[in-house]
Amino acid sequence: MNSTALNMQTAIETLPKSELHLHIEGSLEPELALELADRNGITLPYRDLDDLRKQYRFTNLQSFLDLYYELMGVLKTSDDFRDLALAYFGKVSAQGVRHAEIFFDPQVHVANGLDVNIVMDGLLEGMKDAKARYGITSGLILSIVRDMPIDTAQSVLDSVRHRTDDILGIGLDSAEVGYPPHLFARQFQEAKTLGWHCVAHAGEEGPAAYVIDALDTLHAERIDHGIHSVTDAMLLKRLASERIPLTTCPLSNRRLQVVNSLEELPLRNMMEQGVLINVNSDDPAYFGGYIADNYKALAGIGFTLSELTIMAENSINASFINAVRRDALLKELASWKSRFAALLKA
């Protein structure tokens, strides 16, 4: 690797950034999954680590979700969730992440027989430890699993009302087609009354109309994925004028066959039209890379360091942090720009 490539790699890994689209259960690496299964006396239907790794070949979103939900079953105790969170933060602490807003799927854990407080207590402990160890601030986004019965979403929402200060926002995830955002308008409205922020997966496998639906009926402040917005010129203008960020996930889109190649992603097109694009890892244990790997993948198809820096700055500005923390991160980014000024001009 030549010096320019090494400098680019260092620049990307040290680039101060926020991660805004991360499913914490999707950071469950196969090694940790087997360790937790053994810890909790659970038998998985795989011979060994290599056999489990072979399952990570997905043809679409549903084929991924099948394995994703199966492995979530090894998470049983608060310690498990703490260890899961700390494993994630430990990895991204070396990839420039300064702030993370992480999704979790309480409906699935409740269906697996857990009390939602076990889940939250473990995650919050891991987040607290990560701040002390790595200086990474973070927040929890409770995600509604859209292809589970809506009454289970309402039940979970009701069960955490006493912990509203522990939750940053509400989200909407899982299998998209056939589950338009407006089905969950009641839950999002209730979340807003609790003071939570609102985000929603839309326009990943679903059409641009789902993005419009999420904006109009859920009042989403960010759209997760959203790449099919590119098919609607008026929607692109709206996203740009209303400054609605898209939390895109390049390696995820490629691994799930949303696009046939990274070159097909319309990220530059949307950026040129003023859409606030940022880059995230989605479910990094399943999709072949954490956040810096996604940045490096874009660099590999021709995105300049200047363009990647804009995405990182977008991620800081799109986060739900307070003004003091935002100013501190933007100041750190300015210092980073000075350090890599020559590479930014290249």
- Dist CA 321 CA 17 (whole Å): 13
Per-residue burial over 64-84, b if 16 or more Cβ lie within 10 Å, else e, is bbebbbebbbbbbbbbbbbbb
DSSP 108-127: HHHHTT--HHHHHHHHHHHH
* pLDDT at residue 191, as a whole number: 98
Q: Residues for the chain: how many in total? A: 346
Token duo for residue 310: 């804009």
Catalytic residue selected from 204, 242, 264, 313: 204
Contact 37, 43 (CB under 8 A): yes
- Report the 3 state secondary structure along 62-77: HHHHHHHHHHHCCCCC
Task: Tell me the two tokens of residue 110.
Answer: 């409740």
Tokens of 338: 């000075």
Binding residues for Zn(2+): 21, 23, 201, 282
pLDDT at 2: 59
Residue 164 CB-half CA count within 13 A: 11
Cα 259–chain centre separation = 18
List of the chain residues with pLDDT < 50? none
Q: Compute φ and ψ for 111, nearest 5 degrees.
A: -65, -25
**In angstroms, rounded to a whole number, what is the distance separating the alpha carbons of residues 84 and 298?**
27
Residue 75 has what pLDDT?
98
pTM of the model: 0.96
DSSP strand pairing (197-202 vs 169-173):
parallel
Structure tokens at 186: 């009641």
CA angle, residues 242, 105, 146, in degrees to nearest 5: 65
204 is a catalytic site residue:
yes
The type of residue at 151 is: D
In sign, the C-alpha dihedral spanning 163, 166, 170, 172 is negative
Q: What tokens were used for 34?
A: 């087997």
Interior CA angle at 228 toward 255 and 225, to 5°? 55
| The pair of three-digit structure tokens given for residue 15, joined into one six-digit string | 């680039």
Q: Any idea of the CA torsion for 206, 208, 213, 215, to the nearest 10 degrees?
A: 120
Q: Summarize the annotated binding site for substrate as residue ranges.
A: 283
Q: So what's the pLDDT on residue 61? A: 84
How many C-beta atoms surround the C-beta of residue 261 within 10 A? 8
pLDDT at site 60: 86
E-strand ranges in the chain read 17-23, 97-104, 137-145, 169-173, 197-202, 222-225, 246-248, 277-279
Provide the 3-class DSSP secondary structure of residue 170: strand
Model pLDDT, residue 1: 57
**pLDDT recorded at residue 3:** 59
**pLDDT (tens digit per residue) in 259-275:** 999 999 999 999 999 99
Residue 94 to residues 12, 14, 101, 262, 292, Cα–Cα distance (Å) = 10, 8, 17, 24, 9
Count Cβ neighbours within 10 Å for each residue of 321-337 and write b for 16 or more, e otherwise: beeeebebbeeebeebb
Q: CATH homologous superfamily for 19-345?
A: Metal-dependent hydrolases (3.20.20.140)
